[in-house]
Structure 1
Amino acid sequence: MTENAPQQPTELPNAWNPAEEEAGLYERWVSAGYFTADAESDKPPFTIVLPPPNVTGSLHMGHALNHTLMDALTRRRRMQGYEVLWLPGMDHAGIATQNVVERDLAGEGLSRHDLGRERFVERVWDWKATYGGKILDQMRRLGDGVDWSRERFTMDENLSLAVRAMFKKLYDDGLVYRAERIINWCPRCHTALSDIEVEHSDDDGELVSIRYGDGDASIVVATTRAETMLGDTAVAVHPDDERYAHLVGTEIELPLTGRRIPVVADEHVDPEFGTGAVKVTPAHDPNDFEIGRRHDLPMLTIMDERAAITVPGPFEGMDRFEARPAVVAALREQGRIVAEKRPYVHAVGHCSRCDTVVEPRLSLQWWVKVEPLASAAGEAVRDGRTTVHPQELAKRYFDWVDNMHDWTISRQLWWGHRIPVWYGPDGEMVCVGPGEQPPAGEGWYQDPDVLDTWFSSGLWPFSTMGWPEQTADLAKFYPTSVLSTGYDILFFWVARMMMLGLHAMDGVQPFDHIYLHGLIRDASGKKMSKSRGNVIDPLDWMDRFGADATRFTLARGANPGADMALAEEWAAGSRNFCTKLWNATRFAIGNGAVAGRRLPDAAELTEADRWILGRLRTVVSEVDSLLEEFQFAKATNVLYHFTWDELCDWYLELAKVQLTEDSAAAENTRVVLGQALDTVLRLLHPFIPFITERLWTTLTGGESLVVAAWPEGAIALPAVDEVADSRIADVQKLVTEIRRFRSDQGLKPGQRVATALSGEGFAAIEGHESAIRALARLSDPSDSFSATASLDVALGGGVATVEVDTSGTIDVAAERKRLHKDLAAAEKELKQTEGKLGNQAFLDKAPADVVDKIRIRRDTAAADIERITGKLAALPS
């Protein structure tokens, strides 16, 4: 593939129309194979595996942000000559997908149990084939340069084999085990949940204080879950709490149950909190479970999988939320309620899929012993094999991996990777790896549970490349180069990939760099949610502003690790930027700008030409340095201001004058202008790929920016010319001051005015007089020129004097009326501020910063009065 194979039109339409062009450009890239990686290539590899979205998902702003950043990284590396693999795929999303299909079945009056496991799983596969993967089509709209030939799904046969191989390896290494522990249980989904699947919110509840025992042998405990007292097997106090020392080792009666339970001493109890005594329900609270283990307490499960009470008696069969007030009423009747606080706001865990309140519950589950795996994951970052960006978030990573608890990996679902363990009629347990035959015979059966989705997605960086087989992809593209993801899943997905990747790949890290971006918030900084009605749909933005404007907006707000407040006017501003770029390139092409031609020697170029090329060289260096550090916001900000402020607003205007001059200078300007646009389009391509592709191929006749070279190696730019820089800076300052001066004189922006330019400062830049007059709308002084106003501007080469003849150019009466209005406002402001500053009582009470601000307002008003009075005096009579 070459850069100079003309196949694009040589003219541009009047305006850029994203809806008409983006889809066609994208399909052209895919058809050309630009995104397909070659494992046999001798180019250095650069690899990103897409964080697999749920098969049920659709593109939201968080996806759009992360995909934009990953696409920018991969497009730049491809242009730099790397063999780039950006591997896409989807996660089977166990609970979410099963819930979707079960809702469909419920609409038909059926449940999964009516179908049975095998038919239900077939139904899920059918749903996936029909409705799943909508987000993949949306990724194409955004412009994701992924290798579609390597698309993966976590339930693909090869990935399922990897899951079985990993489970078997962990089992054989003693790192997975089966045990009863406290888990997060969803009574609606009927499964254990990982921490990531639990969302906490501050809910209104009640805090009830209950007296256990009587007289001197009584203790008051408080709880927000009164129904769980039916499962209490102890009361715990701190060993050093003298208030209860006489009760430690004795038993007290548990109300409503007829049981007697011990009082135990445990250092977990905070004697300063509440009464200093806590009820212990080991089967329904994680802290109580640990107390129960330390004191060998019975662990009574008092609820079934639907969270209904199972304790024989008046509460049996009640839902937990029905049982709660019933238990409190029964205790009140016995005089056991000491205090009740309603409402009592406290943190409550909810299932992230169905919003049901999660119930801590003792359950027999499969667990990963994480301590050695987490230790290795911490060491890989500490020794530099993997670097976290921004560095300050490494502390969060260490806080997590250094304090990780064992991980429950079994789920009571039908959709997912079935646990590869078989149980025999005499209590046997056999773990079956890939290629091994499961035991057969009467009484043998496979574990009915499936694995946590995070287990299979934790293998993603290497299972997608063919592990456990040693494939060409694995040899070429592992370890991956960068993981880009939101900091909110640092603890859950990132840590699991690090643990499992290091263990499976003999200590080789799954990625060299972890880049963590922030979350998307609304314009006022609030979290986006459907209930608030402040969710922004990236598809809507792409429809209205185009994919490029959407991407550029997101990239400009992407500071590492920081949340981003997003507003619609920013997208409109990005669209305007694209329009500016389009118009500038269209003007350049229409005026004969050429790209790819050798630059003339510096001596043959104007100062404006040398200035823009020097600035371009600096910008290329700055953007490169910033992108190496994942500073997307700063890099795009540099590109935005260079393109808009310097290239379009200054150089293009200077070039317009030069293009009208002698043929040699004009031809050189065409080469410089073409080179500048060529370079800036390459630099912008990773962020706004569609419009830059259309502009660049038209400007250069090249094949595609996707496979063009990055400016660093493609374009030899001259060194910065400090003299040219200084003189163009003086031109900019003089033109800016003249424009301000014109406004003060009441001249309309497009109105030309006769002007004389003189002084030592002007003499130093006299070669730019034509450009200065064009940019500032100044005409030459006539024989009858008579200055009515003047301005001195201090420049690097001295003072430039500007004298204008405004006679006949302004409506004196209208200008006098406007100035009198401004004068009245300034005089009013001066009177008010002087009144406050003359009030000693105010000065004694007001904070110093408030007084300082009023003094500034007074001084500004006084200066305005002097300025306006001078302008009135200068007006013709």
Structure 2
Amino acid sequence: MKSNLKNKKGNFKNVPKEIYDFWEKSGFFSADLKSEKEKYSLLIPPPNLTGELHLGHAMQHSILDAVARFKRLQGFDVLLLPGVDHAGIQFEATFDKFLAKKNLSKRKLGREKWLEEAFKFKDEVYKSVSSTWRFMGLSADWKREVFTLDEGPKLAVFEQFKTYYDKGLIYKGPYIVQWCPKCNTAIEDVEMEYEERKEKLYYLKYGPLTLATVRPETKFGDTAMAVHPDDKRYQDYIGKEFEIETLAGRKKMKVVADSAVDPEFGTGVIKVTPGHDFADYEIGRRHNLPILQAINKEGRLTELAGKYAGMKVLEAREKMIPELKQKGILLKQENYVHNVAVCERCKSTVEPLISEEWFVKVNDLAKGAISVINLDKIKFLPKNYKKILVEWLKNIHDWCISRSLWWGHRIPVWYPSTSLRISDPSTHSINSGSSTRSARSGRVEEMKVSLESPGEGWVQDEQVLDTWFSSGLWPLSTLGWSVGTGPVSRFPPVSAPPQSGVRADRNPSTTATRAENLMFKRYFPWDFEISAPEIKYLWIARMIMISQYFTGQIPFKTMFFHGMLRDLLGRKFSKSLGNGIDPVYLIDKWGVDATRMALYTYSIPGRDGRVSREILDERGKNFRNFATKIRNITHFVIDLKPDSNSEVSRQTRPITLDVMKSGRQENTSEVSIADDKWILDELSKTIRTVTKHLENLELHLAVEEIYEFVWHKFADRYIEESKSNRVKVQPTLEHVLKQVLILLHPFMPFLTEELYQKFEVKRESIMQEEWSSSR
């Protein structure tokens, strides 16, 4: 490394980029397929293409990088693989806002032109994402980076869809989903946020019973009343049918007993609206209740609401209340505080409703995942997440995989252009083997599953696949698993004759496929994965399900759930609250290494941290001062090294490390080596302790241990007490300093590389050093 990288006072900000460019160009981040070293693979969770770095990303990437650098120093062949997720609904929202500023829209551009412009926008956004990662020091193997819409993942997604379809696990039909009326698409739980709202709890008369609801407008979709089977108050009503008064006339309704009812809520009686509530939908399935749609996909009441039809939900609710009172149906109302689901993209209230969507039957997939989790084949940090995941998998429901978007993997299903297309939401279809039967027309519609058009006269399904459908394949697709890597899969590669329109399998003998097979065989399963706890179900559970189903293996050996950084009130950082802290602010003020060190103090698995700008400034300043301390130590040890040609140096023989470690004393009249042996013993203890903490992924404890040793043992005591015997202890000083830099390198990579280059005896980079095996 060239000496011009040595820092000059006042020019610290320019050093990290110069150092990073040196690392990247020298190939120090690259994994080696031909290496005889033991492998260690880490998979970077693909961030969304929003171009924004938040504190969670900064902490997550800092943890990943520390583990990767530690393993390289231990002598492993390390693969730290980067990539980004196309982010479906979030990216589309960001891009549409960008287009709106240019007075453009989907309608004006059309699908083909919109996608063309979207990919250009993606490239610009990715430059920001990629540069930010480099800015943080992420030692990723950039030659192998992956985008979820690349050709490799595209083939993997197709094989996944085709296999599920052939096995009868994919169907299209009516099912309850979370629906955003403004975005006009089904969304997943992770695409929602919750707002605390103060609303009214309405007590309504239903025949001889009274029940409480916050949504009187869904009354038009009620098909039953329900009570808990053990609730003694209502035993005489169970199974009986009563006539009740509604705003659309009188109707008969049955009382059912179901253990899902909370006897403590309201009066202990609930109205069952299977078409607009997930819990009610399950009650309806158990009791074979009909499903009525009272609210449509635009968020308006349907014709079932009579004179209220066409009104938005809140408008209808407001206008219904007076009539409910007048008819004696509304008995009383109370203030009620509860959480309401809103779309993360547009902040509109989410409406549960029945929609014609594509689904995956996941019960069999979930059983396989539960099996490997219970066999402890995956190490979860913290441990309690094992039980949390298993409980969720036991109660999993069919997975809605279709989205009414343009950005994403388009559903690989084709229909004859003259037929009734089942993507039309006005039709109701049921699964019927390899064909789909339209309930409206009564005839079987011909359809084909294919990556490319089967030929002239065929039209592709308009919807795209859920982002998590491709993200769930991330551990596989990033290593080239797809059509052509059949030997790894539990199933034979999917193939079909050309006339079917299905893309032919790639030739397994091609160079590209051989390389992908080698990558998969060497680096799978991944040794380490990290995630925020909020996506443990939508991403982690699905990666385990999909990997187990297709390969019979776990996707990763260790699953690290880091805690969430929140504000001092315990709230999640968000734009709407304006409580976020930009990590770039911290980096500009305190430097990359100090910012990383501050974030490591919050890296305890599963434990949330409450932070503020003032708290992070205090920690950033503390670790900036620590970096300054190390600079001063290095200046003293290296820059102020005694001149070997001086008279004092010629008369004073340095103590060798062997002598120091042995405890023998030579020239005791001139110098005692007790302090030298002490600092070496303390160094060995520190190395052992730090190694243990890193192996256990206790990064916060490793940082504390190094800080304590450097500041209080090495600097405050040993260096101060050794100044009078400077020439004799110079080998000790240099040895301890170099080991300190190696210990610190996983956490403060830029500083340690810069200072390491000052040594006369060194390797090309500190990344090529060896982690001490002190016992």
Length-normalised TM-score, structure 1: 0.75
Alpha-carbon distance in 1 for matches of 2:732, 2:88: 57
Structure 1 residue aligned with 2:252 = 261
Task: Report the AA paired with residue 643 of structure 1.
Answer: V
The alpha carbon displacement at 1:535 in A equals 2.2
Structure 2 residue aligned with 1:287 = 279
Alignment partner for residue 622 of structure 1, among 671, 689, 702?
689
Structure 2 residue aligned with 1:8 = 3
Structure 1 residue aligned with 2:122 = 128
Q: Deviations over 1:345-388 (max 9, x none)?
A: 11211112221111111112222222222222222232232111
Alignment partner for residue 479 of structure 1, among 525, 537, 559?
525
Further displaced range: 138-147 or 691-700 = 691-700
How do 1:295-314 and structure 2 match up within 5 A? 295-311=287-303, 313-314=306-307
Alpha-carbon distance in 2 for matches of 1:550, 1:588: 26
Q: Secondary structure at the match of 1:513?
A: strand
- 2:206 aligned with 1:157, yes or no? no
Contact 2:237 2:255 in 1 (8 A): no
The alpha carbon displacement at 1:598 in A equals 6.6
Q: Deviations over 1:272-296 (max 9, x none)?
A: 5423322221111112222322333
Contact 2:756 2:766 in 1 (8 A): no
Q: Deviations over 1:305-324 (max 9, x none)?
A: 21011226321211111111
- 2:445 aligned with 1:453, yes or no? no
- 2:27 aligned with 1:33, yes or no? yes
- 2:382 aligned with 1:322, yes or no? no
Residues 584 and 147 of structure 1: CA distance in aligned 2, closer, same or farther (over 3 Å) = same
How do 1:112-123 and structure 2 match up within 5 A? 112-123=106-117
Structure 2 residue aligned with 1:670 = 730
Q: Deviations over 1:584-622 (max 9, x none)?
A: 01100133279x997232325711111111111111111
How do 1:423-572 and structure 2 match up within 5 A? 423-424=415-416, 425=419, 426-428=443-445, 430=447, 432-433=449-450, 438-440=453-455, 442=457, 444-468=458-482, 469-470=484-485, 471=516, 472-505=518-551, 507-522=552-567, 527-566=572-611, 567=615, 568-572=617-621
Q: Deviations over 1:543-596 (max 9, x none)?
A: 1111000011111332222122341101100000000000001100133279x9
Structure 2 residue aligned with 1:19 = 13
Task: Report the AA paired with residue 500 of structure 1.
Answer: I
The alpha carbon displacement at 1:652 in A equals 0.8
Residues 243 and 473 of structure 1: CA distance in aligned 2, closer, same or farther (over 3 Å) = closer
Residues 679 and 228 of structure 1: CA distance in aligned 2, closer, same or farther (over 3 Å) = same
Residues 54 and 243 of structure 1: CA distance in aligned 2, closer, same or farther (over 3 Å) = closer
Q: Deviations over 1:117-166 (max 9, x none)?
A: 22222221122123344221111111110111111111112211111111
Structure 1 residue aligned with 2:184 = 190
Alignment partner for residue 141 of structure 1, among 135, 141, 147?
135
Contact 1:56 1:133 in 2 (8 A): no
- 2:686 aligned with 1:637, yes or no? no
Alignment partner for residue 657 of structure 2, among 584, 587, 599?
599
Structure 1 residue aligned with 2:342 = 350
Contact 1:159 1:463 in 2 (8 A): yes
Q: Secondary structure at the match of 2:684?
A: helix
Residues 675 and 559 of structure 1: CA distance in aligned 2, closer, same or farther (over 3 Å) = same
Task: Report the AA paired with residue 362 of structure 1.
Answer: I
Residues 592 and 280 of structure 1: CA distance in aligned 2, closer, same or farther (over 3 Å) = same
- 2:357 aligned with 1:365, yes or no? yes
Task: Report the AA paired with residue 96 of structure 1.
Answer: Q
Alignment partner for residue 327 of structure 2, among 329, 334, 347?
334
Residues 13 and 51 of structure 1: CA distance in aligned 2, closer, same or farther (over 3 Å) = closer
Q: Secondary structure at the match of 1:339?
A: strand
Q: Deviations over 1:244-283 (max 9, x none)?
A: 7358432413411125132132223344542332222111
Further displaced range: 307-316 or 459-468 = 307-316
Contact 1:7 1:703 in 2 (8 A): no
Structure 2 residue aligned with 1:649 = 716
Contact 1:7 1:701 in 2 (8 A): no
The alpha carbon displacement at 1:176 in A equals 2.4
Contact 1:419 1:450 in 2 (8 A): yes
Residues 346 and 552 of structure 1: CA distance in aligned 2, closer, same or farther (over 3 Å) = same
Alignment partner for residue 92 of structure 1, among 81, 86, 99?
86
Alpha-carbon distance in 1 for matches of 2:233, 2:212: 19
Further displaced range: 532-541 or 64-73 = 532-541
Residues 548 and 242 of structure 1: CA distance in aligned 2, closer, same or farther (over 3 Å) = closer
Alpha-carbon distance in 1 for matches of 2:239, 2:387: 41
- 2:196 aligned with 1:202, yes or no? yes
Q: Secondary structure at the match of 1:712?
A: coil
Unmatched runs of 5 consecutive residues or more in structure 2: 420-442, 486-515, 644-653, 667-671
Q: Secondary structure at the match of 2:252?
A: strand
Alpha-carbon distance in 2 for matches of 1:369, 1:380: 19
Alpha-carbon distance in 2 for matches of 1:244, 1:109: 62
Alpha-carbon distance in 2 for matches of 1:205, 1:225: 10
Contact 1:231 1:283 in 2 (8 A): yes
Unmatched runs of 5 consecutive residues or more in structure 1: 1-5, 660-665, 720-877
- 2:219 aligned with 1:174, yes or no? no
Alpha-carbon distance in 2 for matches of 1:711, 1:224: 62
Task: Report the AA paired with residue 308 of structure 1.
Answer: R
The alpha carbon displacement at 1:650 in A equals 0.8
Residues 154 and 14 of structure 1: CA distance in aligned 2, closer, same or farther (over 3 Å) = closer
Contact 1:235 1:261 in 2 (8 A): no
* Cα RMSD for the two superposed structures: 2.5
Length-normalised TM-score, structure 2: 0.85
Alpha-carbon distance in 2 for matches of 1:147, 1:689: 16
Q: Secondary structure at the match of 2:716?
A: helix
The alpha carbon displacement at 1:431 in A equals 5.1
Alpha-carbon distance in 2 for matches of 1:332, 1:133: 60
Q: Secondary structure at the match of 2:100?
A: helix
Alpha-carbon distance in 2 for matches of 1:319, 1:259: 24
Q: Secondary structure at the match of 1:698?
A: coil
- 2:87 aligned with 1:73, yes or no? no
Q: How many residues align?
A: 693
Residues 133 and 179 of structure 1: CA distance in aligned 2, closer, same or farther (over 3 Å) = farther
Task: Report the AA paired with residue 444 of structure 2.
Answer: G
The alpha carbon displacement at 1:193 in A equals 1.0
Aligned-residue sequence identity (percent) comes to: 39
Alpha-carbon distance in 2 for matches of 1:541, 1:379: 44
Alignment partner for residue 632 of structure 2, among 575, 583, 601?
583
Alpha-carbon distance in 2 for matches of 1:123, 1:37: 34
Alpha-carbon distance in 2 for matches of 1:481, 1:386: 10
The alpha carbon displacement at 1:440 in A equals 4.5
Alpha-carbon distance in 2 for matches of 1:72, 1:110: 44
Contact 1:191 1:413 in 2 (8 A): yes
Structure 2 residue aligned with 1:812 = none
The alpha carbon displacement at 1:497 in A equals 1.0
Q: Secondary structure at the match of 1:391?
A: coil
The alpha carbon displacement at 1:110 in A equals 4.4
